[in-house]
């Protein structure tokens, strides 16, 4: 298949696992290779049109991050919606060592395009908890980290944003196994998206969603206040 559509085997693997995007070019080529009657081509058009992670597509048209009104989340790295291009590049380059340079840069571009969600006239209210280790762990060159810390401060200054830092001495908590995003839409209420290194899971069952939301609420209670969080980020940014 990689030979037929002229891409790498790692890209095919990501597509098969549902964690990657269809490669640029002629999406019908993969469909012709499978004799699928155009299904792959149609799916590729849908993915590029939305510009959101493929795992979200499993929910069909019932909800979409672009219609999100309120979002809460905990991430083991800086959240993708808040990443700078250079920070995202370093994460993707190290996370996908077999991907070509063109594939990495394409993924960075897609990630940056999703950030338009926060620049629209009526952005969603967004609450984010970032572990202190994320702020202290160097990603790329020092300038990359300074740019990322500055971007977090810009986000924290938004009227619709709430940024908290979970300190290193906060101890264990119920969400240490992976990242968590809680999205609320007018049409379908609360949906939870959990993510591991190579897989993601969407949880819509009300009781499970409420339990995870409760764990997030407990987490915010143990995190630094928004003011304390921005002070810590500024301190790290100004450190030599």
Is residue 193 a contact partner of residue 209, using CB atoms and an 8 Å limit? no
d(CA 84, CA 236) in angstroms, rounded, equals: 17
Confidence of residue 60 (pLDDT cuts 50, 70, 90): very low
Q: What pTM does this model have?
A: 0.66
> How does strand 125-131 pair with strand 70-75?
parallel
Q: CA separation (Å) from 101 to 92, 105, 181? A: 10, 6, 29
Q: CA separation (Å) from 184 to 83, 165, 190, 204, 212? A: 22, 22, 4, 11, 13
d(CA 65, CA 81) in angstroms, rounded, equals: 11
pLDDT tens figures, 23-40: 555 545 544 445 444 444
Three-class SS state of 84: coil
- Tell me the average pLDDT across 128-134: 91
**Sheet strands side by side (includes 125-131):** 161-166, 125-131, 70-75, 179-185, 189-195, 200-203
Beta strands in the chain (DSSP E): 70-75, 125-131, 161-166, 179-185, 189-195, 200-203
pLDDT tens figures, 83-105: 999 999 999 999 899 999 999 99
pLDDT tens figures, 167-195: 988 877 767 666 778 887 766 677 888 77
Is residue 218 a contact partner of residue 210, using CB atoms and an 8 Å limit? no
pLDDT of 10 reads 63
Report whether pLDDT(11) > 60.
Answer: yes
Confidence of residue 46 (pLDDT cuts 50, 70, 90): very low
d(CA 181, CA 104) in angstroms, rounded, equals: 24
d(CA 224, CA 163) in angstroms, rounded, equals: 9
66-70, 133-137, 152-156: which range is least confident on average? Answer: 66-70
Provide the 8-state DSSP code for 186.
Answer: T
Residue length of the chain: 240
d(CA 172, CA 81) in angstroms, rounded, equals: 26
Provide the 8-state DSSP code for 83.
Answer: -
37: left (phi over 0), alpha (psi -120 to 50) or beta: left
Token code pair at residue 81: 């919606």
Token code pair at residue 24: 């640029």
Rg (CA), the chain: 19
């Amino acid at each position: 298949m990689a030979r037929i559509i002229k891409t790498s085997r790692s890209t095919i693997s990501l597509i098969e696992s549902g964690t990657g995007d269809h490669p640029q070019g002629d999406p019908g080529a993969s469909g012709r290779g499978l004799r699928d009657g155009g299904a792959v081509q149609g799916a590729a058009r849908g993915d590029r049109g939305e510009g959101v992670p493929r795992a979200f597509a499993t929910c069909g048209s019932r909800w979409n991050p672009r219609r999100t009104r309120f979002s809460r989340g905990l991430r083991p790295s800086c959240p993708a919606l808040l990443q700078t291009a250079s920070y995202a590049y370093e994460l993707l380059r190290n996370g996908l060592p077999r991907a070509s340079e063109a594939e990495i840069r394409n993924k960075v571009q897609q990630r940056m395009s999703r950030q338009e969600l926060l620049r629209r006239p009526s952005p969603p209210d967004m609450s984010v908890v970032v572990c202190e280790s994320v702020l202290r762990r160097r990603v790329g060159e020092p300038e990359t980290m300074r740019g990322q810390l500055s971007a977090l401060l810009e986000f924290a200054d938004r009227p619709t944003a709430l940024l908290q830092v979970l300190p290193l001495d906060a101890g264990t908590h119920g969400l240490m196994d992976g990242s968590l995003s809680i999205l609320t839409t007018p049409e379908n209420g609360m949906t939870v998206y959990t993510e591991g290194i190579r897989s993601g899971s969407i949880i819509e069952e009300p009781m499970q969603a409420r339990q995870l939301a409760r764990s997030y609420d407990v987490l915010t209670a143990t995190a630094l206040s928004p003011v304390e969080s921005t002070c810590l980020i500024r301190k790290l940014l100004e450190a030599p």
